[in-house]
Amino acid sequence: MTEVTIQANDGGSFNAYLAAPAGGKGAAIIVIQEIFGVNANLRTICDKYAAQGYFAIAPDLFWRQEPGVSITDQTEEEWQKAFALYQGFNETKGVEDLEATLEFIRAHPGVSGKVGSVGFCLGGKLAFLMATRTDADANVSYYGVGIEGSLGEASAIVHPLLMHIAEKDGFVPPEAQAKIRETLASNALVEIHTYEGQDHAFTRIGGKHYDERAATIAHGRTAEFFAKHLA
């Protein structure tokens, strides 16, 4: 487990947390942050994917505002900082940084060439945009916020996309969820699961809405999805 430096496509550079599989060979997964930066939870997710045989890389997407953000959801002060970073985040530049990460990890020694992405919250939206704007091989979105505003890009999805939606998500109202399902229903590459009774971030360990049963089901579906499409 190490820190690597990635060159941004428009100049400058940013860091990323990289966890490698014990065997030194395999497909790769880009793990896309929530609004809390590349924190302990995100690094743990990377480590778990590495234990499953993947290279897992989590780029610092807030570097243009403040490099090295790593906060939790446990205090009001941290929430306020997280929302401020979210408000100041340039989504277009963020996707460009993810594309640079994709290029970096595809060329990394030991990586098979297959690369997927998985994102949570803000990262869930960005995982959707990875499906519409990049050639990542498979993408997974957990309770992405604001996806309904980018559905005009849906026709660009040419690689498998798995979406986990929380039925009671306070940041994604029912009408937004309905629009997502309706727009993507005809695309055979898109698989959508809605988790009844669950609120936003139901897989975030230690979070207010964490639900072990729903998280286990969602992660199981993700594991099967990546095993199928990144083999």
Q: Residues in the chain with pLDDT < 50?
A: none
Instruction: Please state the pTM of the whole predicted model.
Output: 0.97
Given this model, what pLDDT does residue 124 score? 98
> What is the three-class DSSP state of 13?
strand
The values of phi and psi at residue 2, to 5°, are -150, 170
CB 104 within 8 A of CB 4: yes
| Domains of the chain, CATH where assigned | 2-229 (3.40.50.1820)
Question: How far is C-alpha 137 from the geometric centre of its chain's CA atoms?
Answer: 14
Alpha helices by DSSP H, the chain: 40-51, 76-87, 91-106, 122-133, 174-184, 212-229
Catalytic residue among 97, 164, 199, 200: 200
What CA–CA distances, in Å, run from 209 to 84, 153, 213?
22, 30, 12
Please name which of 15, 16, 18 lies closest in space to residue 2, comparing C-alpha atoms.
18
CB 118 within 8 A of CB 140: yes
Sign of CA dihedral 106, 110, 115, 117: negative
Catalytic residue among 169, 199, 211, 229: 169
Question: How far is C-alpha 227 from the geometric centre of its chain's CA atoms?
Answer: 17
For residue range 72-118, what is the model confidence (pLDDT) as tens digits? 999 999 999 999 999 999 999 999 999 999 999 999 999 998 999 99
Please name which of 23, 19, 22 lies closest in space to residue 4, comparing C-alpha atoms.
19
Given this model, what pLDDT does residue 223 score? 98
CB 192 within 8 A of CB 151: no
Tell me which residue has tokens 């941004």. Answer: 8
Angstrom distance (rounded) from CA 42 to CA 201: 13
For the question of residue 200 being annotated catalytic, the response is yes
Tell me which residue has tokens 């803000």. Answer: 122
Given this model, what pLDDT does residue 170 score? 96
Alpha helices by DSSP H, 9-152: 40-51, 76-87, 91-106, 122-133
Given this model, what pLDDT does residue 231 score? 87
For the question of residue 229 being annotated catalytic, the response is no
Averaged confidence pLDDT in the chain: 97
> What is the three-class DSSP state of 17?
strand
